Amino acid sequence: MNQETKRRTIAVNTRLLMPGKLDGIGWFTFETLKRITAAHPEVDFIFLFDRKYSNEVVFGENVSPVVLGPPTRHPFLWHFWFQWRVKNFLKKKRPDLFLSTDGFIPLCNLTPSVSVIHDINFVHRPGDLPWLVRKYYRYYFPKFAFRATRIVTVSEYSRRDIINQYEVPEEKIDLAYNGVNERYHPLTVEQAVEVRKAYTGGSPYFVFVGSIHPRKNIANLLKAFQLFKDENKQNYKMVLVGEKFFLSKPMEEQLEKMKNKQDVIFTGRLTPDQLNDVLGAAWAMTFVPYFEGFGIPILEAMKCEIPVIASKVTSLPEIAGDAALFASPDSPGSIRDGMIRVVREAGLRDDLIERGRERRKLFSWDHTAEKLWDSVQQVLDTHA
């Protein structure tokens, strides 16, 4: 078999590909690999899992799942899995390329690699992470960035940040915006009424979607909501969707101080269909993190046709464009002002929804997958 017809083999880090537990990086992995494996039947893909996998994510006959234990639940196990288990697998199997959608790669390894580094929030906000986690990230990610053959990231903000912080050559790092799941859609008036009855007893509400940890700025969001309640006597609620992570004490302390804490509702993690309902029935999304590499929830809100109040920092103005109200994440009063405006200003809500309909057209997982494959193809061509 000559070089032109030889099948290529790509090994992929799929440890975050766990249906039912997908977060931002997990969804990126799911949506891009589903498309890439279907679009390239001429390539063999080896999906590397760190625990039992679901057949739901074995996307085709050209995908071979392999389990390399142990589960990577701790920085010590991250190190062992990537720098020993994955490294030895690549050395033995000798694939043409290693693709990692969470930025982690084996360092002592000759296999060409494409690494997706979504953001480097830990450089700017190390205190948001437990001590050992931030030590790991801050020590290893500069090495991962240096060692990767090519890097992909999800916003121009993150691209410039990685270039500046890690002194990565501009020509080594590519941009592939995230997409938004096509299943999200607006609700009818009748459907929205039923969802509000189920979650808030029928009251209108603001919604936040994301992991509940310090970088998401939940404490200031709760302060802003209390300020909003002090000015607006209507029975609005605040619904927070997402799992609680580490270092949530400031949020819990703020919640205890609130006069209207009974109006704050935590749903935990929701299925995509449940999330669609909760988004589609909301009055507006309040998404005001301190740092965000992209911000998929704001696109989900636009797909569900509700207005967005977003932080005016990091990547969010780039992603939301003219289709959001912007607030300072450091200022509860600024966040409150956005909430007041979207309730009181005639026509503003409809205008933001219409702008969101146009803005969301710029982002699709098809486009993301194509851009990621372009980077993979560059490496394959260079190392043929």
Express each pLDDT in 220-268 by its tens digit.
Answer: 999 999 999 999 878 999 999 998 776 577 888 888 899 999 999 999 9
Strand locations in the chain (E): 8-13, 43-49, 63-67, 97-100, 113-116, 150-153, 173-175, 205-209, 237-241, 264-268, 284-287, 308-311, 325-327
Tell whether 2 is covered by a domain: no
pLDDT above 80 for 273: yes
290 and 266 in a single domain? The answer is: yes
- Assigned domain for 3 exists: no
Which has the minimum average pLDDT: 253-257, 271-275, 280-284? 253-257
Q: What is the CATH number of the domain that holds 47?
A: 3.40.50.2000
Determine the number of helices (DSSP H) and then strands (DSSP E) in the chain: 15, 13
Number of domain units in the chain: 2
Specify if 384 maps to a domain: no
Burial of 205 (0-12, 13-18, 19+ CB in 10 A): buried
Mean pLDDT of the 51-55 span: 96
pTM above 0.75, yes or no: yes
Domain co-membership, 252 together with 144: no
Q: Which pLDDT score, from 0 to 100, does residue 247 have?
A: 55
- Taking each helix axis from N to C end, the angle separating 131-147 and 156-166, rounded to the nearest 10 degrees, works out to 90
Q: What is the pLDDT of residue 4?
A: 54
DSSP H helices in 110-215: 121-124, 131-147, 156-166, 189-200
- Shared-domain flag, residues 167 and 224: no
**Does residue 161 sit in the same domain as residue 33?**
yes
Indicate if 146 and 218 belong to the same structural domain: no
Q: Is residue 245 a part of any domain in this protein?
A: yes
Mean pLDDT to the nearest integer, 279-283: 98
The verdict on 208 and 167 lying in the same domain is no
Predicted local distance difference test score (pLDDT) of residue 233 = 77
Residue 287 placed within a domain? yes
Q: Are residues 82 and 171 in the same domain?
A: yes
Banded pLDDT at 33 (limits 50, 70, 90):
very high
Report d(CA 341, CA 327) in Å as an integer: 12
| Residue-number span of the structural domain to which 72 is assigned | 8-179+364-379
Are 150 and 252 in a shared domain? no
When the pLDDT of each residue in the chain is averaged and rounded to a whole number, the result is 95
Residues 221 and 246 in one domain: yes
For 87-120, what is each residue's pLDDT tens digit? 999 999 999 999 999 999 999 989 999 999 999 9
Same domain? For 25 and 94 the reply is yes
On the question of pLDDT at 283 being above 60, the answer is: yes
- 210, 326: one domain: yes
Asked whether residue 346 is assigned to any structural domain, the reply reads yes
Asked if residue 36 belongs to a domain, the reply is: yes
The answer to the question of residue 117 being in a domain is yes
Residues 218 and 321 in one domain: yes
Per-residue confidence (pLDDT) for residue 266, from 0 to 100:
94
